[in-house]
Each structure stands twice: as structure tokens, then as C-alpha cells.
Amino acid sequence: MNNNDWNNVFPEVPQNFHETVQRTLNTHILNKTGRKKIMKKRFPIVLAAVIATLCITAAAAYVMQWNDKLTERFGANEQQQSELTSAGAVASVEQTVTENGLAVTAVQTLGDKNGVYILFDIKAPKGIALWDTNLFEKTSAEIEGVGNGVNYSGGFMSDTDNSGSPSGAVNERYYEIWLDNSEQEDWNDKKITLGFTNLQADKGKLDMYTVVEGEWDLSWILSYMDQTQTFEINDTYDINGQEVLVKSIELSPLSMTLDIGGDGLKQLIDDSDFNQCGCLCTLSLTMQDGTMFDPEGPGSEAGMDNSYTRTTLFDKVLDVDQVTGFTLTFPWEKTSNTLTVSLP
């Protein structure tokens, strides 16, 4: 949270707060037992407890409030929102930088140790419409103490209706950035700085031109959760005559990491176009009700000889407790190209 926003931390004190305090006063001051001396000693404590309870409730309500677009984007129900908030996965930023009539607001973040999603609200001057074809000429992401830079992707939301805009106005649109932490460095409580330069529009066929000049830099302290569950598998499977060792899979409500190996893995990598576009296999999670959860979102793959690791950031919240197993498919193999794993 921006240090300058303390005045907005708690919502306006509601009428029921005043009524509750008044009932407390009436109950204890007008006590029929007549033990006024005792009540004088106890009253400040009781009143303080009531005020503290109500303030904590108000603060909890504020902290628990997800942005509507974040909720929709990740399909999070009320229970998932509550659990992820309690775990520290979601954080409010509410920081705005305005230059030349264009305002960039970092709204909220959602993440775990594998990566962080950031939701922005971009509002252009009146008369400038924002579409998913708009982009910034340059963007940058830096995290304190991360010397190798940060991998990230993002852009304006591609919603074709008004849900892409916070207000429904054509000059306002949501923007999203995914930070990939496949190296699993410690970003928690580190300062992040995101930079945007020159808003551009497309004349057609990616002929970009600048519509608003400027530089917009936002900084705040990152926070996210680390509640990953590791499932050790260590079972061997056959893929088209090649031995594959499924070592483990890590799952959290927001991401997954798959680790496989085996003597036949090098041949499977050679058969694929992994070195060109990074595509060795697809993965689907099997849920308790028989449905499949197909992880979609940015991520990374790394493979060499008998070692392969894949990390994916989910674009929907996963109920990890409902996962019973997963299926790997190696599309470059023509026969016997699928293996199914049950979680221990």
C-alpha cells in the first residue's frame, strides 16, 4: 500500500458503529445493580474492546475486498478469495501516476513463489480509445536485489465488450502483467519498479504510432504467498519405447511445477521442437469430480538430456485438494504418447 494513502485505509465509520457504542454506554452506565464504582473501572476496558472489535472488523472487510476484475479474471469464489487473502496471496497497491493526461494505476497483485500477476487500470485522455491492440513503446520491470532482470509478459485485456473497461468508457481499459519467477528467487518484501513509456496505437498490420508521450514509473513493496504442496511420484513410464521418470509435481492454487527425467527423455526432446519453441508435452490435471483442469497462462520450460522442468502460472484459481492426478501427452510421438499419474 502506498504510504501516502493511510487516510483511506479504513472505510467511513458506519452508523451501526455509533449505535453499538451507544448501546454499550447505556448498558453499563445505567446498570441496575448500582455498583457505579466498579463500573467506572470496567467501562473503559469494555468500551475499548468494543471499539477494537469493530475496527478490526472494518479493517478485515477492507483487506478482504478483491477487485471485481481480479475476481472475474481468476474465477475465484468467495471461499477462495478468503483463503488466498488470508494466505497473503493478494495485495492492494492503488498507486497512480499521471502524465500528459494519461493515468496508470496499479490496482492489485496476486501471486505465489512462481510468479505474480499485476492488474492495472489505464485511463487515457478523452478522445483516445483503448483497445487490446494498444501497447506501450517500452515497458520495464525491476525488483530490488534481482540482478539478472525479471521475465514478464502482458498487455491490454482483450475483452471485446465493456468488461475490459473499469468504467465502460472507451478511453479506460484494464492492463495486466505477469512476472515469471521460475528461478524462485525471494521477491517477498522487495521493492518492485514498473516503467511504461509512450502509449501507442496501431494503424494496421502493426504499424504503431505514439498517441500519448510520457514516462510512467510506479514502485511499491511486493508481497505474495508460498503454500506450494509437493507430490513426490518417482515412477517410471513408457512413452513410445522411451523411459520417462516422473519425479514430482508441485501445486499451489496459482501455479505448478513439473519435474521429470529418465534415460529416454533426451530422445523425446530431440523428437520435439523444444529447442525452437519450448514445447515438449502438454499437461492436464484430473479433478475429483472427473473434470480436467488445463493449466493456461505464462510460464517457462527447461530441458536437457535427462532433465526437464516446466512451470506454469494459472489464469484460474485451482482447488489443490480436489486434484487426484494428471496426464502428460507428448504430441511429437505418434504412438503410446500419453501417461497418466495418480497423486500419492
Which ranges in the chain are annotated with CATH 2.60.40.1630?
87-221
**Rounded mean pLDDT, 50-64:** 44
**Rounded mean pLDDT, 31-55:** 40
44 pLDDT higher than 70: no
pLDDT, tens digit, 9 for 90 and up, residues 262-312:
999 999 999 997 777 778 999 999 999 999 999 999 999 998 889 999 999
Domain at 229-342: CATH architecture: Sandwich (2.60)
Weakest-pLDDT range from 32-41, 194-203, 297-306:
32-41
Q: What is the mean pLDDT of the chain?
A: 84
Calculate the alpha carbon distances from 303 to 17, 88, 306 in Å: 59, 32, 8
Domain at 87-221: CATH architecture: Sandwich (2.60)
Q: Within a 10 A sphere around the Cβ of 339, how many other Cβ atoms?
A: 19
Is this structure's pTM higher than 0.75?
yes
Confidence category of residue 183, pLDDT binned at 50, 70, 90: confident
223 pLDDT higher than 80: yes
Given this model, what pLDDT does residue 162 score?
A: 64
Q: Give the angle 42-48-51 at the CA atoms, nearest 5°.
A: 140
pLDDT, tens digit, 9 for 90 and up, residues 327-338:
999 999 999 999
pLDDT, tens digit, 9 for 90 and up, residues 91-112:
999 999 999 999 999 999 999 9
| E strand segments, the chain | 90-99, 102-112, 115-123, 135-143, 151-156, 172-180, 191-202, 208-221, 229-239, 242-252, 255-261, 282-287, 292-293, 299-304, 307-313, 323-329, 338-342
Confidence category of residue 27, pLDDT binned at 50, 70, 90: very low
